[in-house]
Structure 1
């Protein structure tokens, strides 16, 4: 049976979710992502076929992540967890795929804290009532191909050769990842970057994020100063300025060296990135992470420096049993990432590997999909955790 529900968060936002149930299911699996619609996620049929209900929920921003604040997304997730407890499921298990992994870990970390110890505001300073919201703790966490978190992933993919944030074609040739002089080879040949170039490149990636952080904080400070003036003066011009924090446009974020150089953190991945087989081209297009955001959203979600939604950081506060399914052909969660994640969780962790690609496809046509293999691993793990529900 499939039913659609609207849930209202503690701070009054409205989000929607789809509940799919099968006969006698007493365990519900929660699939949620901060910026994607998981209604038709590849794991939905896998979990249903193994006897588990599935709840897929959107955040208040839906597919528009320009103003995405992870701390508000936690309130959205809390409303979904409250709904599932209220309708009577004995067990609720959070399921994180890709960026949903860091969101789920962040939620559980905050839910396991005493309310007074939860973050009172976003990294940009916007108050968020996590301390006042009911945040039910799930009974377990399952992860498939979880990347390190939106901000940490973006730092790996951001192109540090941009020398003018207002010019999408500006390039520092010494840092250009797609210049043959730096080791790039066009597809289908794999590139070969020197260790010196990799070191300089990654330092420059971090430095570019730091510069955008400075820009975001300056915009927020300017708007807040105008807000204070408007309270004192009542001047409509100050009130307008307080609302005009602007939009950050960030060019070129499909430039992770590992997507074209398989010798860096090797696994079974094919040539190319999450966005396509020619990152040297898509890097210059409109598709990519964090391309347009509010200053608040940049700091909360896309900054590797300021965002708190890093999976490894959050995992230290997650004590519920966890299943980590590493996908061997992943282009966002690499072997070293998965090992660090498994080590970081405070509770019991089962770490397993399945062949496939990041979004759940098979590596070749003659083998099972990653989604099917992950679903099998999840079914076995759930049966062991909740034997009465299987």
Structure 2
């Protein structure tokens, strides 16, 4: 019979107040949920995301039932990415991998789900050959001096290539005044019916250029503000309209069998919703997490520096992780042990059709066996 337990993994220390809760800071723990197989498993699959709470991830119990121990791993930024530093997420994963190794597992595999795809590639890259000595703001940690045990395999499931990459693809270029989202440039407004959908190739090209320009305006303001604040300074700020990728409304772009819209709704209301991506952030977090020019978390770049087997799975009905995202990750694998699996009809959250979950688990278990990781 399978069983579940809560793990309290010692958290790497930090001199900065990065999480509001004093109780959480004093506990000094990273929280994880381990689901054990009925028979002892020498393989652990650790499922991770920069900030999502994975204690109840939908793959945990099914993987255990298939004979593989599964760990839903959280970083210190569980359910709050407003001050998230990607480099600290790497430290947190390192602490968890060391914990699992000490607990006797012969094989540890990292599974990055959604925004975890870029993160697990970044982790393994820095575990195998560390290069990052500071955050983009010049703060610790120095990953070249960190204890980062390499894992034995990587899985990217319904994954993005990196938070900074995907947030730039979603950033609304019609916003010209960062303090007033009601002021919109109609020439760059994907929600204006005059522009589509469908969107012309010329509009999409202008739109993508406008997204990059807005990202760089925010970056320049962040840099200027940090210079004004001086060493150690930081401030919170808001980024408006962050779910505005033309692919959400025009299904001919990055074509798949997804439905129109996003998991958070459709149209401008979803883009402005406080619950959508990356609205609340700090200056230092924005550079580390969201700046496409400065973030260290570029999944394909890091994946190209790894030597372990890689499995990339994507759903053809996924509304937010598109076929090109899976292709970018798969094509970055620098050796012959990369596997790309298409999941017909699977959405970003396959719990909407539970029949997909045993298929995903079967692909994972088969791949583990093929790679000698089980």
Q: Please confirm whether the aligned pair reaches a TM-score higher than 0.5, indicating the same fold.
A: yes
- Among 66, 90, 93, the residue aligned to 1:74: 90
Give the match for residue 15 of structure 1: 30
Distance 2:356 2:115 in 1: 17
Count how many residue pairs are aligned between Structure 1 and Structure 2. 356
- Among 345, 359, 371, the residue aligned to 1:373: 359
Give the match for residue 7 of structure 2: 5
Distance 1:69 1:371 in 2: 31
Give the match for residue 317 of structure 2: 329
Q: In the TM superposition, what is the alpha-carbon distance from 1:248 to its structure 2 partner?
A: 2.1
Give the match for residue 219 of structure 1: 225
Q: In the TM superposition, what is the alpha-carbon distance from 1:121 to its structure 2 partner?
A: 0.5
Find out whether 1:156 has 2:181 as its counterpart. Answer: no
Distance 2:235 2:195 in 1: 36
CA contact (8 A) 1:270 1:329 kept: yes
Find out whether 1:339 has 2:327 as its counterpart. Answer: yes
Give the match for residue 165 of structure 1: 178
Distance 1:98 1:310 in 2: 14
Listed one character per residue, the Cα deviations across residues 190-247 of structure 1 (whole Å, up to 9, x for unaligned) are x2111111110110000000011111111222222xx4xxxxxxxxxxxxxx54x211
CA contact (8 A) 2:161 2:328 kept: no
Distance 1:129 1:5 in 2: 26
CA contact (8 A) 1:30 1:94 kept: yes
**TM-score between the two structures when normalised by the length of structure 1:** 0.88
Q: In the TM superposition, what is the alpha-carbon distance from 1:344 to its structure 2 partner?
A: 0.4
Q: CA RMSD in A?
A: 1.6
CA contact (8 A) 1:153 1:332 kept: no
Give the match for residue 254 of structure 2: 265
Give the match for residue 104 of structure 1: 120
CA contact (8 A) 2:35 2:61 kept: no
Q: In the TM superposition, what is the alpha-carbon distance from 1:46 to its structure 2 partner?
A: 2.3
Distance 2:5 2:275 in 1: 33
**TM-score between the two structures when normalised by the length of structure 2:** 0.91
CA contact (8 A) 2:45 2:69 kept: yes
User: 3-state SS of the aligned residue for 1:287?
Assistant: coil
Structure exhibiting the larger radius of gyration computed from Cα positions: 1
- Among 281, 284, 294, the residue aligned to 1:306: 294
Q: 5 Å matches for 1:54-133?
A: 54-113=70-129, 117-133=130-146
Q: In the TM superposition, what is the alpha-carbon distance from 1:131 to its structure 2 partner?
A: 2.3
Q: In the TM superposition, what is the alpha-carbon distance from 1:35 to its structure 2 partner?
A: 1.1
Q: Indicate the larger mover: 6-15 or 330-339.
A: 6-15
Distance 1:329 1:295 in 2: 35
Give the match for residue 20 of structure 2: none
Distance 2:269 2:238 in 1: 19
Distance 2:56 2:273 in 1: 27
CA contact (8 A) 1:149 1:310 kept: yes
CA contact (8 A) 1:97 1:146 kept: yes
User: 3-state SS of the aligned residue for 1:211?
Assistant: helix
Give 5+ residue unaligned stretches, structure 2. 15-27
User: 3-state SS of the aligned residue for 1:142?
Assistant: strand
Give 5+ residue unaligned stretches, structure 1. 184-190, 228-241
User: 3-state SS of the aligned residue for 1:214?
Assistant: helix
